[in-house]
Amino acid sequence: MRILLVDDNHLVRQAVRSFLRELKGCVICGEASEGQEACEKARNLRPDVILLDNSMPGVSGYETARLIRQENSRVKILMLSQEDVSDLMPAAAESGADGCIDKARMASDLIPALKKYETDS
């Protein structure tokens, strides 16, 4: 599974990389720190899954998801958020995201969420 990691915080990207070491067959094919860069990398790298921060400077995660979804209907998009994900899910789904993960629960929720997509890629 090829993953594009998008978050403006390098510490979050570092944490995600460490969590993903547990998932065999998973490779981070690229990283981006803002929306426009994420759109370009999604287009060029063709990841299976995009882990996308919902709150970034400039182009928001929601708008980034919308732009990526317009070009690629098969990619799975999981929003990462520091906010309550149950409150964010309607907006995330409307933007084209397939799910949300609370950054505070990433250690327990990230790998199970990605495993759901192993057979889809």
**What tokens does 100 get?**
């949300």
Domain total for the chain?
Answer: 1
Whole-structure pTM value: 0.92
CB neighbour list of residue 47: distance below 8 Å, 6 or more residues apart: 2, 3, 4, 29, 30, 41, 75
Residue 121 resides in a domain? no
Q: Is 92 part of a structural domain of the chain? A: yes
Q: Is residue 97 part of a domain?
A: yes
Position 120 in a domain: no
pLDDT in tens, 34-76: 999 999 999 999 999 999 999 888 899 999 999 999 999 999 9
Q: Which domain holds residue 46?
A: 2-115
CA distance 108 to 89: 19
Is 6 inside any structural domain?
A: yes
Tell whether 104 is covered by a domain.
yes
pLDDT at residue number 82: 86
50: domain CATH number is 3.40.50.2300
Instruction: Please report whether residue 34 resides in a domain.
Output: yes
